[in-house]
Amino acid sequence: MIEIKDISKSFGKNAILKGMNVTIEKGEVVVILGPSGSGKSTFLRCINFLERADAGEISIGQTKVEFKKAKSKEILAVRRKTAMVFQQYDLFLHKSAIENVVEGLIIARKEPKEEAYKKGLELLSKVGLKDKRDAYPHQLSGGQQQRVGIARALALNPEVILFDEPTSALDPELVGETLDVIKHVAQTGVTMIIVTHEMSFAYEIADRVIFMEDGVIVEQGSPEELFEQTKEERTKQFLARFSR
């Protein structure tokens, strides 16, 4: 279980997160929706300390840390229980697909090389890229790069995978293959927090949908509740702009 309490974050005078509380059960898939600038990405980036939140605390499994006071050891402990998939894929450009996947295993987790490569290859097959194991990022399409990014996150066998708009930078015709891989992963019981603008995907995959704006949760519930029995006026306005 992951529990995030009272998280807030400002950039200068600009308050991005204003005391959010989110609890996620093991195996739950949570989709976060919201207009740009609502703090969705910042929320994800604060969870694994890519941004340092100003207040609040997080507990993942046995690890419990206050955002503001966390020391580098604690930060590392949280990061090693989480993994992230980035909007711009952000693969290591000087490493091949398989090297990207095993980097965290070999260097951060100190796993034996042979085992790591075996696991890495399995994961590349899982995302349909076994034959691209030695390709460098520049030799892969955006969709393929993002699938390597997903394999890199899966390799760490994390308590939760954070998806930060995983398909926003992709060509429309490559979105499908990436979403399919994410759906497939979701079915294996991995806990996920997904920030996305793909509404039908959200509807299909989510156990719970959170709509947030201005750094607070406006409304949350099951996809049916949020999309079909919308309570808040603001959520309705937002959803009206997307035709599913």
Partner 1 sequence: MDFDFAFMLEAFLAALHYLPTTLLLGFLPLVFGSALGLAIALIRHYEIPILAVFFKWFVTIFKAVPVVLILLVSYLVFSDVLDKIANSLALSISFRDIDRRSIAIFALTLYATSGLSEIFRGAFASIPKGQIDAAYSVGLTTLQVLRRVMIPQVIPLALPLVNNMLISLIKASSLVSMVSVVDILNGAVIEANVNYRYLEAYVAVSIIYWGVCASIEAVTAGYEKYANRNRRRQFA
The reply on whether position 48 binds partner 1 by CB under 8 A is yes
Choose which of 83, 174, 193, 212 interacts with partner 1 (CB under 8 A).
83
- Output the six-digit token pair for 87: 């909007």
The reply on whether position 88 binds partner 1 by CB under 8 A is yes
Choose which of 107, 112, 200, 237 interacts with partner 1 (CB under 8 A).
107
Q: In the complex, what is the shortest distance from the CB of residue 204 to partner 1, in angstroms, rounded to a whole number?
A: 26
The reply on whether position 41 binds partner 1 by CB under 8 A is no
- Return the number of the residue (151 or 218) whose C-beta is nearest partner 1: 151
The reply on whether position 74 binds partner 1 by CB under 8 A is no
Choose which of 6, 10, 18, 50 interacts with partner 1 (CB under 8 A).
50
Q: In the complex, what is the shortest distance from the CB of residue 95 to partner 1, in angstroms, rounded to a whole number?
A: 8
The reply on whether position 103 binds partner 1 by CB under 8 A is yes
| 133-192 residues near partner 1, rule: CB under 8 A | 136, 138, 149, 152, 156
Q: Which residues bind partner 1 (CB under 8 A)?
A: 45, 48-50, 72, 76, 79-80, 82-84, 86, 88, 90-94, 103-104, 107-109, 136, 138, 149, 152, 156
